[in-house]
Amino acid sequence: MTILINGKATPFDGATLADALNANGYADTVVATAVNGTFVPADARSDFAIKAGDQIEVLAPMQGG
């Protein structure tokens, strides 16, 4: 299936949001996630099912002054 990660079409063979993050290099990264505009907390990612066409937003915290 194809999903969108940060607006980029991405082939995906997994089942959950955690699978999608792991497959795209976010396995050990602290990020905030949303699927189709709905925030998904870190502790729910392994149970959150992904469907073809889902839009996933991955946001990393930024530091600055």
Instruction: Judge whether 45 lies within some domain.
Output: yes
- 13-43 pLDDT, tens digit per residue, is 999 999 999 999 998 899 999 999 999 999 9
Question: Six-digit token pair at 46?
Answer: 């392994």
What is the domain extent for residue 55?
2-59
Instruction: Judge whether 65 lies within some domain.
Output: no
Q: How many domains does the chain have?
A: 1
Instruction: Judge whether 64 lies within some domain.
Output: no
CATH number assigned to the domain comprising residue 45: 3.10.20.30
Give the global pTM.
Answer: 0.91
Q: CB of 25 within 8 A of CB of 10?
A: no
